[in-house]
Amino acid sequence: MCYDEFMNVRNYQKELDKLIEKLKRDGGEPRHLVLHSCCAPCSSYCLEYLSQYFRITVFYYNPNITLEPEYRHRVEEQKRLIAAYNAKGDKYLIDIVEGDYEPGLFLELSKGLEDCPEGGERCFKCFRMRLEKTAELAKELKADYFATTLTISPLKNAQKLNEIGEELSKSYGVPWLPSDFKKRNGYKRSVELSAEYDLYRQDYCGCGFSKAESLKRAQKTPD
Ligand code: SF4
């Protein structure tokens, strides 16, 4: 019995494995997945892995990125990575939908949660904002599934992300694709791919609060 089973914690990677096995047995056309992406580095492994099985529409929707130049730079890196993957031509083609840049929405939802540390309630609201828009798009495109790259980050609560995804799946009537991409060295692979494709890797999550936390951490770290 593995640790997750012993602790009665759901293993979302195993759930994804089972689902992929079932899709392979069922055969037919590749299923359409709308994959929310936070940035090119996090998406690098997720796309390498999932584009073997799914026709993917990447949805770049991140109003949490407070600084516009940072936001634009991350979008361009996302597009560059997708173009490079598509040029290889060894998997299903990936397309991208760029969501609106609406940082006011994030600032509104974070009111009263300014002092919340990274990983707390503000992040849960931030996840929900981005996943809800992804579910909306998946419904509009009549996609088979929706998911997010966010579960690759060791700093993000994969259980919470999956719980929110499952809740939205019920509201929008689009199946949620369970994931915990950091398992099986997904995060490590994303670091390797980022180096291989020379991707810009930011040192903070996206909002002004996370940037301030990152600066504080850097100041505490001795040379
Ligand atoms: S730290 Fe990241 S997930 Fe949390 S609120 Fe800021 S941008 Fe959103």
Kindly give the interhelix angle for 121-140 and 158-172, rounded to the nearest 10 degrees: 40
Q: Which CATH class is domain 10-18+31-220?
A: alpha beta
Give the domain ranges of the chain. 10-18+31-220
Q: From start to end of 25-92, where are the E strands?
A: 31-37, 54-60
Q: From start to end of 22-181, where are the E strands?
A: 31-37, 54-60, 94-98, 145-148
pLDDT mean across residues, the chain = 95
> Which residue, by CA, sits nearest to atom 5 of ligand 1?
123
Residue 6's pLDDT band (boundaries 50, 70, 90)? low
> What is the tens place of the pLDDT at every residue in 14-34?
999 999 999 999 999 999 999
How close is the Cα of 37 to the center of ligand 1, in Å?
Answer: 14
Give strand pairing partners of 96: 58
Query: Nearest CA to 57 among 116, 117, 144, 124?
Result: 144
Q: Using the predicted structure, report yes or no on whether residue 3 has a pLDDT greater than 60.
A: no
pTM (predicted TM-score): 0.95
Q: Using the predicted structure, report yes or no on whether residue 48 has a pLDDT greater than 90.
A: yes
- 113 and 9 Cβ atoms separated by less than 8 Å: no
pLDDT value of residue 90:
86
Which residues, other chains included, contact 192 with Cβ-Cβ below 8 Å and sequence gap of 6+?
A: none
Alpha-carbon gap, residue 99 to 93, rounded angstroms: 20
Choose one of 209, 211, 217 to mutate for the ligand 1 pocket test, by most ligand atoms within 8 angstroms of C-beta. 209
Which residues, other chains included, contact 155 with Cβ-Cβ below 8 Å and sequence gap of 6+?
A: 118, 119, 205
> What is the tens place of the pLDDT at every residue in 154-203?
999 999 999 999 999 999 999 999 999 999 999 999 999 999 999 999 99
